[in-house]
């Protein structure tokens, strides 16, 4: 079974930080140049695989093995794109990692046999760099870049390809290290439970599981900050001289807005999947919003989900991270689930007002949680009887399938992590040092 260690890495000096930035920036350049050529070939109807040899172009900075890993990762992204289109899914070709003006996504991938992670009193990570960078920063011929590791990775086992990236929102370098763990060492083996997610904007994710648990991640504060930044961008654009479309400040605002969203998105995915894994969930159903948007979603909700929350990027991150846990993500239709009463099953006698769904039968509940529950019921494996046999409740839907008993666990974003809301069945976690979080 695959698991992933997540940890912070710290350059030992300003020179090491500059070297690492340059390494990640060169990785973004390789990705963008290769992606550009393949996109051009794709739209021109030519083979996307006939490209220049970018490994040779970047071997001096990245090293041969790292350059090759980036090329393989790019190839994998295109193969996934073609696989989805063959299944009739509407998706866009692989995109770029930003640009120099608006800011790049600084990331690289290092082959499993090319880095060393040593744990102990002074844990450290050593990664290779190309000869050009070694000469520029006075590293020896066989020397590698040495970085400090903060914290103790949880999982031990056969190490996989390392992902190293710069998180601008926290001004830290972070690493994802997949490892293969023996099943006998897993602390919570996967069962056959299932979960369904309702994706929105006010509530970013509402989740219901077949164990009777529900999770709700609120997004209002995030959206308000996003909207405030968008307004400031519009104000600055209105003051530009004729013929100008951007400025350093505008690019900075765009970059900060995107990275704040990505940071919250990545943290949400990791937090949710940790919880689902502990619940024994092996399959997660996610709504394919294509038909939903055509039926009853408002333009405002559409803009929120696609522009603010970047639905497709969220699904991609969810699927990639779920694979590390051995959890399967399936995209399914969720049309009308937001209007289905879980008490009587009606879709015509319900009224949704903001976050509340009411029905003429007397039911009232949180609309997004109700939608995730209805979504799960629709797609739950008919052979699974776990929900019926393990949970007994006083109120059952007309089909005989019991409703969740546990009070939902609600989460709020504090710009660093997702914390339980006071409205949950457990109190919000207290911080040990408030001074470090402003």
Confidence at 258, pLDDT banded by 50, 70, 90: confident
Q: How many domains does the chain have?
A: 2
Check residue 10 and give its pLDDT: 94
Task: Tell me: do 152 and 213 sit in the same domain.
Answer: no
Asked whether residue 437 is domain-assigned, the answer is: no
Please provide the average confidence, as pLDDT, over all residues in the chain. Answer: 79
Choose between 297 and 52: higher pLDDT: 52
Q: How confident is the model at residue 219 (pLDDT cuts 50, 70, 90)?
A: confident
Integer Cα distance of 338 and 272 in angstroms? 21
Tell me if 435 is assigned to some domain.
no
- Residue 372 to residues 57, 351, 367, 381, Cα–Cα distance (Å): 49, 17, 9, 15
Euclidean distance between CA atoms 400 and 20, whole angstroms:
58
pLDDT recorded at residue 399: 40
SS (H, E, C) 214-260: EEEEECHHHHHHHHHHHHHHHHHHHCCCCCCCCCHHHHHHHHHHHHH
Residue 211 host element (H or E): none
* Residue 9: per-residue pLDDT: 93
What is the spatial distance between Cα 409 and Cα 420, in angstroms, rounded to a whole number? 7
Same domain as 125, residue 243: no
Q: How confident is the model at residue 251 (pLDDT cuts 50, 70, 90)?
A: confident
Query: 204 falls in which pLDDT band (50, 70, 90)?
Result: confident
Residues 86 and 170 in one domain: yes
pTM: 0.60
Regarding whether 424 and 318 lie in a shared domain, the answer is yes
Mean pLDDT for 203-230 is 88
Q: What is the pLDDT of residue 190?
A: 60
Q: What whole-number distance in Å separates Cα of residue 88 and Cα of residue 73? A: 23
163 and 277 both lie in a single domain = no
Q: Of the spans 90-94, 109-113, 296-300, which averages the highest pLDDT?
A: 109-113
* Pairing of β 328-333 and β 281-288: parallel
Domain ranges, residue 273 = 193-430
Write out pLDDT tens, residues 283-332: 999 876 554 444 444 545 555 555 677 777 788 888 878 877 778 888 87
Which of 32-46, 100-114, 169-183, 394-408 is the least confident region?
A: 394-408
Residues 180 and 206 in one domain: no
Tell me, yes or no, whether 228 and 177 share the same domain.
Answer: no
Phi-psi category of residue 9: left, alpha or beta, with phi > 0 → left and psi -120 to 50 → alpha: beta
403 shares a domain with 296: yes
């Amino acid at each position: 079974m695959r698991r992933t260690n997540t940890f912070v890495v710290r350059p030992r000096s300003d020179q090491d930080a500059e070297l690492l930035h340059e390494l990640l920036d060169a990785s973004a350049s390789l990705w963008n140049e290769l992606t550009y050529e393949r996109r051009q070939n794709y739209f021109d109807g030519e083979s996307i695989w006939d490209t220049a040899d970018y490994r040779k172009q970047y071997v001096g900075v990245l090293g041969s093995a790292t350059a090759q890993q980036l090329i393989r990762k790019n190839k994998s992204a295109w193969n996934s794109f073609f696989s989805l289109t063959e299944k009739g899914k509407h998706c866009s070709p692989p995109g770029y990692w930003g640009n120099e003006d608006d800011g790049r996504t600084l990331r690289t991938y290092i082959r499993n046999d090319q880095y060393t992670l040593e744990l102990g009193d002074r844990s450290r990570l050593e990664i290779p760099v190309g000869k050009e960078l070694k000469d520029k920063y006075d590293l020896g011929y066989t020397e590698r870049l040495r970085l400090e590791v903060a914290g103790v990775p949880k999982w031990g086992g056969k190490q996989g390809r390392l992902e190293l990236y710069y998180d601008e929102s926290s001004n830290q370098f972070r690493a994802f290290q997949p490892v293969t763990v023996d099943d006998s060492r897993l602390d919570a083996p996967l069962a056959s439970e299932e979960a369904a997610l309702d994706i929105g904007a006010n509530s970013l994710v509402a989740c219901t599981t077949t164990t009777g648990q529900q999770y709700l991640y609120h997004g209002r504060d995030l959206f308000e900050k996003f909207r405030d930044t968008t307004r400031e961008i519009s104000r600055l654009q209105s003051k530009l001289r004729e013929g100008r479309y951007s400025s350093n400040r505008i690019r900075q605002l765009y970059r900060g807005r995107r990275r704040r969203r990505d940071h919250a998105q990545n943290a949400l995915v990791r937090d949710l999947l940790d919880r689902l894994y502990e619940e024994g969930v092996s399959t997660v159903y996610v709504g394919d919003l294509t038909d939903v948007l055509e039926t009853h979603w408002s333009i405002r909700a559409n803009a929120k989900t696609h522009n603010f929350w970047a639905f497709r990027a969220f699904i991609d991150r969810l699927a990639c991270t779920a694979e590390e846990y051995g959890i399967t993500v399936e995209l399914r239709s969720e049309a009308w689930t937001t209007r289905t009463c879980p008490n009587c099953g009606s879709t015509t006698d319900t009224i949704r007002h903001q976050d509340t769904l009411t029905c003429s039968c007397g039911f009232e509940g949180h609309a997004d949680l109700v939608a995730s529950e209805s979504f799960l019921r629709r797609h739950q494996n008919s052979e699974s009887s776990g929900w019926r046999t393990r949970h007994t409740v006083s109120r059952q839907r007309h089909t005989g399938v019991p409703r969740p008993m546990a009070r939902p666990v609600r989460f709020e974003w504090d710009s660093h992590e997702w914390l339980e809301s006071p409205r949950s069945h457990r109190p919000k976690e207290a911080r040990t040092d408030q001074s470090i979080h402003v």
